Each structure stands twice: as C-alpha cells, then as structure tokens.
Structure 1
Amino acid sequence: MIPFLDLKKINEPYETAFQEKLKVVLDKGWYILGDEVKEFESSFAKYCGTQYCIGTGNGLDALVLIFKAYIELGKLQKGDEVIVPANTYIASILAILQTDLIPVLVEPKLETYNIDPDLISKKITSKTKAILVVHLYGQLAEMDAIHEIAVANDLLLIEDAAQSHGAFFEVEGQTSKAKGANAQAYSFYPGKNLGALGDAGAVVTNDYELSRTIQSLRNYGSETKYYNDHIGVNSRLDELQAAFLNVKLSYLDSDNELRRVIARRYLAEINNDKIVLPYWDLSSNHVFHLFVVRTKNRTELQDYLNRNGIQTVIHYPIPPHKQKALSEWNDLSFPITEKIHDEVLSLPISPVLTADEVDYIITVLNKY
C-alpha cells in the first residue's frame, strides 16, 4: 500500500538532529519560551519576509489570537463581520466564532478552490471589518485583487496560511512571500509542509502593536510575569517543537520543490476524462500541501485506488455550513462549495514519494 502520507519516513532524515536538539533542551532545563522558540520566531519571520513572528500552541490559536488582539486594540469589536471562504476547513470559521465575530461566507472559484474576489465586494456591509483569506491546499489566493478590495473598504486583511508554507508570488523576476496582509496565521501540525512532531502554530506580521498584543495574549495576557494586562490564554509554542522546527525549516524550500516535481508529473501524465486535475500556473504560488482531483464518482474512484494499493483522503467531505456544529447554517446554499466537497479526492504527494510510486499512481489512474 502506498500511504497517503508517511510521516515516519518524512521525519527519518532528521532523527539524529532531533536527538541532538532534545539533548540541548534537556541540558538547558528551560522548557517554556526559551532559546529554541526565540530562534524559530526570528528565523521564520525572516523566512516569511516579516518583522515579527509569535509562536502559538497551534494554528487555530494563531487565528484566534489575531482576532483577539485586534479586539484588544480597538480595531475590531464583537459583532463585526468577517468575510471568509465557504470552502475551507472549519478552523477558519471557528476562529471567527470563538472571538464573537460574525463569519460571512463567500463562494470560491471552482478552478482554484480559493475565495472568488469578484464575489467579496457583494458581501461587504457597514458591519464588515475584515477579510480572512485561506490559501487552500497550498495555493495562494488572488491577493492582489483581494488587497485592493480591503484597502478600498478600509478592511483588515488576514491570511490563514496553514497550508501554504513557502508559497510566494513572482513579480518581474522577483519573488515575494509578503502578500499584503496585516497578519498571517500558520499551523505546524505534523502533516503540514513544515510539520512539527505535535501541535504548533505561529502568527507573522509587520505590525508592532499587534505582535506585542499577541505575545501578551498567548501568555495569560502577561508581558511581565504575574502582571496581566489582558484577559489572555495559554497558547505558547512548545520549546521542544520549536527545536524540531528549527531543524526542518532550512529544508522547506527543497521539500516544496520535490512536491512541485510530483505535481508537474501528475498534471502532465494523468490523462483520464473522468478525473479533473487541479489548476496551477506553474509558478511558485503553489506548494502542493495537497494534490486534489475531482470526480463525479468519488467513492468508486477511492475504492478502486484502495484496491490497487493507493491510499487517498478526502479534504473535506462536509462543508462547514453543513456541519452539525453549525446547524443554524444547514439550510444555506453554496452550490460551488457543495460541489467541491462532494467531488474532491486527495492523491499521495510528499517529498518522500518515490518516482516508481508516482509512476504506479499515474498508471492506475489512467486505467480507471
């Protein structure tokens, strides 16, 4: 069986370095917000082209803390509306709800699965104060157009970058990871392109006041021990997870390129009119966290692949507005989102997938 994602194999090259980092942390005897966290925050901020990085317990908390901080700073207040893609993992929406803000769902483009900029303006009201963009499956949304809308309407622009580590724009031969947002939230869940060995997350931003407020909020609302300026939470990047991330960060770009090599082969060599391949302009704006195809008979295709020793995953089977937890939305209709969730299937793609395995996957798909 070709696994969908072999995390053990992905992390095997780093085992010696992990052991060395573990010894460093144990020898120092400092386990919370120590040197490894400081090093990762500095390195990841530099990698992202931002001034500040604040490590958090996970990606959801990173999003929540952005909204909490803006409320503390008076730039948002409870009851404000936040535009968010209807086609996303539920965490994007939970972050809005957990800070007493109101999600306003907008359909994606079927081609890219990302939020449709042409539909955003139609959902803006006097209560709209922010746009939360999600770079789904590792492909950047159309940030130039979305940034123009945000500026024209004086809206905060926040990115859920949990699946797009290392994606960047190419403009006139230059590359840029800065996407025009006020803040970006990352997840380092083990299966991400830059994955820890447990939960971890971060916020990156160029806004000093926002960074200081999030830094306080993640640590009980305190900058100085036992002195609390805000009603905070406990969501700090773990020292050991930061140590592991420090090992893996320098390999992120090369790992992403290995993913793109596989994606290019899939796009060029899968030839089956029953399968819709993802859109990609071949630029560096996609890091293929997932390689997602669509088919009318998903269960049939998934069963066929499983019988042939290929494991797949559905990202995601139920759209947020159809979830039991959001029952008040269950009667809403988002036909493009619903079509996507009914048809998508994720194929194996990772830096450790071999050329022979890719050959086999393509052959099996072409025989379907």
Structure 2
Amino acid sequence: MIPMVNLKAQYAEIREEVEQGLAETIARCSFILGPNVQAFERECAEYLGVKHAIGVASGTDALHLSLLAEGIGAGDEVITTAFTFIATAEAIKYVGARPVFVDIDPKTFNISPEAIEQAITPLTKAVMPVHLFGQPADLTAIAGLCEKHNLKLIEDCCQSFGASINGKQTGSIGHAAGFSFFPSKNLGAFGDGGLVVTNSDQAAETLQMLHNHGSKVRYYHDIIGYNSRLDEMQAVILRAKLKRIDQYNRARRRAAHLYSELLGDLPLATPYEDGLGVHVYHQYTLLCDRRDEVMKALQDQQIACAVYYPVPLHQQNAFKEECAGVTLPVTEDIACRCLSLPICSSIEDHTIKEIAGVIRGVLSA
C-alpha cells in the first residue's frame, strides 16, 4: 500500500544518529527537561528567529498555553477558522474563551482577513489564524488588523514548521505561536510533542511556569500550571530531524509541484500558492467535484488518501451552542470537495506518477 506518509523511509536515513542519541540518553538517565530538550529549544529559537522556544507535550498544549500566556480567558472572543483540526478551537475553549468561526479564502483555504475584520466585536481579544496544510496565512493583513484593534495574534503553526512569509518563519510574527510534532508533521517526533514560541520575555517566563506545574524553582509553585513537558527522548529524534528540515520541506515542495504538473489539465483544482510566503505542503490538498469516485479508485489500488476536514468545526456537535445558525459558505463548499494525496519527503516520482495516473483514469473517463 502507498501510505499518506512513509515514516519508515525517513527513519532509515537518521537511524544511526537517533539510536546513538537515545542510547546516550538512557545511559545518562536524564529523562525530564534534560540536555536534549534544552538544546532543541535553543536550536528551534535560532531556526525560527524568535527569542524564546519552550517545549511542551503536544501541539494542542502549545496552543492552549499560548492563549493563557497572552492573558486570554473567560468572556473573551477569539476569531479563528472552522476549517482546521479541532485542537485549534479546543484550546480556545480550554481557557474559557469563545471561538468565533469565520470563513476562508477559496484558493488558499486559510482564514480570510476580510472575514476577520467583519467579526471583530468589543469582546474580541485575539485572532488565531492557522497556516493550513503548510501554507502561511496572510499575516501581513491579519497583523495589521490586530494592531489596529489592539488584539493578540496567536499563530497556529501546527502544520507549518519551516514555512515563511517575506523571509520570516511562521511563528515569529505573532505575539505567540504553537507548533505540533505529531509523527506525520513536517518535523515529527515518534509520539506527541509540541513547542510554544514568543518574542515576549514576560510571556516566556509565564510559559516556563505553565508547562512545569507553575514552578520556576523546584517545589516552589507561583501559579497553577500543567504537566506539559517535551520528552527528552522525543527531543533526541527532533534534533536529528531539525538539521534536515529544509531538505525535507524542499522535497515536499518538489513532490507537490510534480503532482500539480501531472494533474493540472484535469477538471480539479490543484493547491494554490499565493506568493505571500513559502508553502511547505504538510498536506497536498486538491478540490474535485468527483471526489468520492477518485477516492474509491485510489483505495481500490491500495493508495491512501484522506479528507481534511470532512466536517467543519462550526458544524461539529462540540460547538453547536455557540454556532447555532452560523453558516460559512466557502468553508462548507471546500469541505465537500477537498481531497489530500500522499506526500512526504521520501515520496518518489514514480509513486506520484502512479497516483496521478489513477486520478486521470477516473476524470478522463
């Protein structure tokens, strides 16, 4: 079967370095907030161009703690997109705030700056754009809105490690940002993991306490915090991959462009790059009116494919109270037609051509 992501092939490239690092960690018996976590945080901060990077237990925690560190809480509204994984809105609910879902751009699938501006009320305290599928949202426009209305800008970078806007990495532009290291991500661990980044010394100090039981000094707790620390073993793996992240992202971009070249003349819409930034293709997601036929043909040939996301968040039962009567026409249309194809840094040209050939066979019929 052709998988969505071939983690085995990627591991083969780094096996020796990872196994040596894990063996050294086990021999050292320094498992919690150890030297690899500290080194990884420094290396990420340097790579992303930010002052502070704090490792946490997951991408969801990264978003949750970002909101807390920026003072978002009960009674506040946070404007975000409904076309994303639920963790984005879960984090908003965790802090007692209300997610306000707005529509997306029909080409990039990212949150629409115009829709954001229309949704701002006196209760709005933050905007949380998602750099969906690895394509940067229009942060130039969004940051301008946040400055104009005195709102916090908290970036959801869980799908965009290594993506950039005008030479700046995603995560380096807002007040804070959260990253995920779920195994399938462009920079993925061998389990859960996440990272919060910020340029604010005050937010970083709060985050250091929040992710470690509210403590700056062991056994002294200034606030109620959480047990959300990046694991030392995962840091070993992530450090090995971080050295190669630009290589991985270039390979993903090359694969995406080959897909688009092979599929460009068919009755579907290939991913759109808006030119505002560098898309790193966490997912290769196209639009097709005959999606179900294409999916069945791929599955019949043992080729993985997926729909991200079949039910937008404003239509999920978990948000039915705050979303009664909410309609988002573009989001709802995209959800009915989107389809993601296998993509990773190790996918080979012949595999892409095979997948494209199956799709062509359906749509040319």
What code does the residue aligned with 1:327 have?
K
Residue identity matched to 1:47: Y
Matched, 1:323 2:319: no
Q: Aligned pair 1:176/2:168, yes or no?
A: yes
Q: CA deviation at 1:282?
A: 6.2
Aligned partner of 2:313: which letter?
P
- Worse overlay, 322-331 or 37-46: 322-331
Stretches of structure 1 that go unaligned for 5 or more consecutive residues are: none
User: What residue identity is the alignment partner of 1:158?
Assistant: I
The alignment partner of 1:195 has SS state of coil
Determine which of 333, 336, 345 is the counterpart of 1:351: 345
Match of 1:257 in 2: 250
Q: Percent identity?
A: 38
Deviation at 1:169, TM superposition (A): 2.1
329-338 or 218-227, larger mean C-alpha shift: 329-338
The answer (yes or no) to whether the contact 1:55–1:202 under 8 Å persists in 2 is yes
Q: 1:271 to 1:366 in 2, by over 3 A?
A: farther
Structure 1 distance, partners of 2:42, 2:240, is 14
1:3 equivalenced with 2:9 (yes/no)? no
**1:107 aligned onto 2:103:** yes
TM-score normalized by the length of structure 1: 0.95
Give the direction of change, closer, same or farther, for the CA distance of 1:331–1:272 in structure 2 (3 Å limit): farther
1:134 match: secondary structure: coil
Counterpart in the other structure of 1:209: 202
Q: 2:193 aligns with which of 192, 197, 200?
A: 200
Measure, in 2, the Cα distance between the counterparts of 1:282 and 1:118: 19
The residue that corresponds to 1:140 in the other structure is: 136
Distance 1:330 1:239 in 2: 44
The Cα of 1:280 is off from its aligned counterpart by 1.3
CA distance in 2, matches of 1:273, 1:264: 15
Any conservation in 2 of the 1:258–1:350 contact (CA below 8 Å)? yes
State the 1:48 CA deviation.
0.3
Deviations, residues 149-197 of structure 1 (Å, cap 9, x unaligned): 0001111101000000100123xxxx22165211110000000000000
Partner Cα distance (2:243, 2:283) in 1 = 21
The more displaced of 247-256 and 298-307 is 298-307
Q: What's the counterpart of residue 163 of structure 2?
A: 167
Which residue in 1 is equivalent to 2:87?
91
- The residue type paired with residue 7 of structure 2 is L
- Structure 1 counterpart of 2:279, one-letter code: H
Q: Cα distance, 1:54 vs. partner? A: 0.3
Correspondence list, 1:1-368, <5 A: 1-71=1-71, 76-170=72-166, 175-177=167-169, 179-281=172-274, 285-328=278-321, 329=323, 331-368=325-362
TM value normalised by structure 2: 0.95
Deviation at 1:281, TM superposition (A): 4.2
Which has the higher mean CA deviation after the structures are superposed, 124-133 or 320-329? Answer: 320-329
Structure 2: where are the runs of 5+ without partners? none
- Describe the superposition over 1:264-307 as per-residue Cα deviations: whole angstroms up to 9, x where unpaired: 11112214543221101467520000000111232211001112
Superimposed CA distance per residue, residues 104-143 of structure 1 (whole angstroms, 9 cap, x where no aligned partner) = 1110011100001111111111111111010000000001
Q: In the aligned structure 2, how far is the partner of 1:176 from the partner of 1:290?
A: 21
Which moved further from structure 2: 300-309 or 228-237?
300-309
Q: Distance in 2 between matches of 1:270 and 1:282?
A: 20
| Residues 262, 353 of structure 2: 8 Å contact kept | no
Query: Which residue identity does 2:316 align to in structure 1?
Result: Q
C-alpha distance in structure 1 between counterparts of 2:276 and 2:252, whole Å: 13
Query: What displacement does 1:218 show?
Result: 0.6
Aligned residues of 1:62 and 1:185 also touching (Cα < 8 A): yes
Contact 1:278/1:293 (<8 A) preserved: yes
Cα distance in structure 2, aligned partners of 1:222 and 1:296:
53
